Amino acid sequence: QGSGAPHLVFVPSAGMGHLLPFTRFITAIADMGVDISVVTALPTVSEAEAEHFAGLFAAFPAIRRIDFNLLPFDASAFADTEPFFLRWESLRRSAHLLGPLIAGAAPRASAIITDVTLASEVIPVAKNELKLPCHVLFTSGATVLAFLAYFPVYLDGANADHLVGDVDVPGVRRLPSDYCPRVLRNPDGLFTKQFIVNGREIAKADGILVNTFDALEPEALTALRGGKVVPGFPPVFAVGPLKSTPSARRSDKADSPIAWLGEQPARSVVYVAFGNCNAAALKQIREIGAGLEASGCRFLWVVKTTILDREDTAELRDVVGDGFLGRVQGRGLVTKEWVDQEAVLKHPAVGLFLSHAGWGSVTEAAAYGVPMLAWPTLGDHKIIATVIRSGGFGVWMEHWSWQEEDSEESSVVSGVEIGEKLKEVMGDEAISASAAKMREEATKAVAPGGSSYRSMHEFLAMLG
Ligand code: BUP
């Protein structure tokens, strides 16, 4: 790094699912002759984020950190709004401060790479004020990107009253209304407003980076690149699957789940995790436990009882119920701690991933050839589940609902059903074979000459 190298300024957003693709992309290009700065909004929302930022800066001392002090934000007008949406709004409302902050960067910035949740605010700052190219690092898949980009067009046309019906994304697939993020059904909701303005503005970006690869989402990538979704859409660079950063934590400790996995037979363990933003109701957590117990499988289960890890003070044994930990001792490991998920999925002992189908989790499972049992919970998960289904490397339990923390709904998926499905998918040779094939494709994509390798180099060449 040094004089003459392009200087990229990254503007990540809140939430580990948003931060991780940024640090992964940064890790991928850190040694490729670019200068890098990272805008860091403080304080972070979760402990996991704070540690992750610290790990990135420790691993790459040459990367500059631009502290971003957010303006006070009164969230009282947004009762019942998810904490991450509020945080995004707070970042968005302070985004105009980024102009002077980035203008003062030395060496002069060459391009900005923003998270999609901030796109409608950061793209104008970059282009109008700083006269810099602005790219978006999209933190979900190309299929969701196509949905986001097409959604404003869909609203302008068929559906003036903003009620979400089936959305037929041109060249990609028809998404029944039930697959679309539930939050979009509220036209006045904060997320809906952010989603629409970001969806419109993203078309003005200079390029869009996506942690995906051609074989994982062929339809969406072809349609986006061919201008079928939105005519004149910016170039889409599929650069995944991106590998983890050197800051991954805990995996080297003797008491880590990785050490435990080392003692289990190949492909014998079900890994269960529902991401950072999904906490099931206690009743559902207990049924998942019953299902794991009934399945007879070995398992590693990451339990979350609150959306923000700072607020998670519940004792594990109270959460999973009396006697559970004793009954499954030796065959199941249950934790409320952050685990190094990529190291888990890479481990030969893992044979199945019961997952909420968050994009990070899906790309990791695809990269390591781990079959998935998808249990989409909210947001873009059902759209992502269509990618798992069409790729054939997992099963989507379409009728499994998700009872959220504090929800009034009474439908809970029973332990009996969960246990049976786990057993069935663990033994499904066809799914295993598709997962292994996906792993091969992922490996080819990032190897020299592969589609993601070429995309990454095209992107870097564009920076000049
Ligand atoms: Br929990 C957990 N360790 O213990 P997704 C998650 N992760 O490494 P998201 C860990 O977080 P939504 C843990 O590897 C993945 O890269 C995991 O991203 C990592 O879901 C990331 O899967 C989680 O996209 O939820 O963003 O948490 O999709 O609902 O926003």
Nearest ligand 1 atom to alpha carbon 20 = 16
CB neighbourhood size of 160 (10 A): 8
Cα 418 from chain centroid (whole Å):
24
**Residue ranges of the chain with per-residue pLDDT less than 50:** 1-2, 248-251
**What letter represents residue 316's amino acid?**
L
Q: What pLDDT is recorded for position 108?
A: 95
Q: What pLDDT is recorded for position 3?
A: 62
Measured between alpha carbons, how far is 106 from 102 in angstroms, rounded to an integer?
9
Instruction: Give nearest CA residue, ligand 1 atom 14.
Output: 341
Which residues form the pocket of ligand 1, taking CB atoms under 6 Å from any ligand atom?
A: 15-17, 20, 273, 275-278, 302, 338-342, 358-361, 364, 379
Cα angle value 113/278/21 (rounded, 5°):
20
| Positions marked active-site | 18, 115
Probe target for ligand 1 pocket from 13, 137, 276, 312, with the most ligand atoms within 8 Å of CB: 276
Q: What pLDDT is recorded for position 75?
A: 87
Nearest ligand 1 atom to alpha carbon 361 = 22
Task: Identify the CA nearest to 352 among candidates 281, 289, 266, 416.
Answer: 266
Contact 269, 351 (CB under 8 A): yes
Neighbour order of strands in the sheet with 134-138: 64-69, 35-42, 7-11, 111-115, 134-138, 207-210, 236-238
Beta bridge partners of 396: 374
Is the ipTM reported for this complex over the cut 0.95? yes
Instruction: Give nearest CA residue, ligand 1 atom 26.
Output: 17
Distance of CA 216 from the midpoint of ligand 1 (Å): 19
Q: What pLDDT is recorded for position 111?
A: 98
Distance of CA 361 from the midpoint of ligand 1 (Å): 6
Q: State the pTM of this model.
A: 0.95
Q: What pLDDT is recorded for position 186?
A: 87
Backbone angles phi, psi at 175, to 5 degrees: -105, 110
